[in-house]
Structure 1
């Protein structure tokens, strides 16, 4: 068991269960939230929490309560104004305070176009993708010695129920493949990454099963007794290759069949 201290900036959908997972593995864990009531709840669980909204003016120095060797930056773009600039400034503060490693939970929106996409293929074709790639570049130039950008596909599991995502609405691109990763796989992969020293610069997290949007979201909605989405047209789409992550770690994805995952999730409820 490790005694290293890890700070997670953003104790949300992924950050909170990750903090608890790392704590159970022996790490000393601290993190941030914007809610005082949530902070109190997590403090009672033994997690050191700083209430910090990085949309507010940043402090002159990194908070002493968040001193650590490793920082996990786990803040989605919808939560932050001027995303790339703000994250770059936060990471620079962390570097000045002695943070040596940064794991940034980026996104596969950095891949544009069609076809199979590996880590070398970043070429965004959307404002979201451009913003995310700019954020990667900003944290990479922050002064922190080791930076790993973990590009996450669509997030499901926990409170994120895919049956509700598209239910009852109409969309294009029914034949496009889904690119998803489950919370339970991330809670296996990220601790395994943190336990290693030989970080690559970029890795994709995307389950190896890519059914069509039509098939996946229809099944997900029906299992929740919701109206299924309707799709017009086909579409080739893009397929995110997440095999480098599992190969490097020597860990297979738990989710290798999304329909089995949907059924198992329904059975547990």
Structure 2
């Protein structure tokens, strides 16, 4: 049995915690919502109210990390909307949060960190993307994720594995619901780079089980139909109005490779879920 702390028990962190507990692990889970503490507790998670800010962190942080060997960081940059402001005061908010967290990890029992990142760190490169590809983020969230990755990787007090997920989908989450009925969408021939929630959870579980630390993994299903073909089919399955794409707008042919995960972890994606 391992004791694991999950910073961010949201869409991915909560079911991940449940799966790890099912396998006999003890899990500390954090939330920023007091009303969610009971949900975590009912799931068998040791619940903690943890708010991570640019210059401070909740007093509960030490208890949240106490006696755990592994820390999973699964908190989004949240830079959309008003937070997308690129002024100096907003530009490195997420990075500063990670920097604020570091000293508490250093004095804790944590020896391994798994940081949930995104393939957005690569930007819209028109190529086959592997872990050897130089990141070139174009979005503010991608830039901050890349900086946060480096801060964690450079710290010698613990080992860090970076897990870069593609577009997240699940039973209750699918981009076609936002694209349905829209017109003049760009990149009809661009390949999709998606990963299902269940594959996300299983891959994290395998990294812990096989002790694959100080690694960088891309995690995208080896399933890359065109955006037009895939979302048209999914719209039919969900009984939604099919989106319409413009052939006049640019096509990015970026394909994210997950061969490293398949080869090192011997992991097989559950393609029937896509």
TM-score when scaled to structure 2? 0.87
* 1:240 aligns with one of 230, 235, 256: 256
Alpha-carbon separation, structure 1, partners of 2:171 and 2:152? 28
Give the SS at the match of 2:146.
helix
Query: How many aligned residue pairs are there?
Result: 256
Distance verdict in 2 for CA 1:181–1:23, change over 3 Å: same
Partner of 2:71: 71
Task: Compute the RMSD of aligned alpha carbons.
Answer: 2.0
Measured after TM superposition, the shift of residue 158 of structure 1 is 3.6
5 Å matches for 1:106-185?
106-112=117-123, 113-121=125-133, 122-170=135-183, 171-185=185-199
Deviations 1:154-204 (A, max 9, x none): 000142133303111231111111100111111211111111234242001
Q: In terms of mean alpha carbon deviation, does 61-70 or 169-178 score higher?
A: 61-70
5 Å matches for 1:14-163?
14-55=12-53, 57-59=56-58, 62-67=61-66, 68-78=68-78, 82-112=93-123, 113-121=125-133, 122-163=135-176
Measured after TM superposition, the shift of residue 130 of structure 1 is 1.4
Alpha-carbon separation, structure 1, partners of 2:198 and 2:211? 23
Alignment check: 8 A CA contact 1:153 1:180 kept: yes
Runs (4+) of structure 1 exceeding 4 A deviation are: none
Distance verdict in 2 for CA 1:85–1:254, change over 3 Å: same
Measured after TM superposition, the shift of residue 60 of structure 1 is 6.8
Alignment check: 8 A CA contact 2:117 2:163 kept: yes
Distance verdict in 2 for CA 1:89–1:140, change over 3 Å: farther
Alignment check: 8 A CA contact 1:92 1:142 kept: no
Measured after TM superposition, the shift of residue 94 of structure 1 is 1.4
Alignment check: 8 A CA contact 2:262 2:268 kept: yes
Alpha-carbon separation, structure 1, partners of 2:259 and 2:111? 27
Query: Which runs of 5 or more structure 1 residues have no equivalent in the other structure?
Result: 263-269
Measured after TM superposition, the shift of residue 55 of structure 1 is 3.1
Alignment check: 8 A CA contact 1:102 1:144 kept: no
Alpha-carbon separation, structure 2, partners of 1:50 and 1:133? 27
Q: In terms of mean alpha carbon deviation, does 202-211 or 90-99 score higher?
A: 90-99
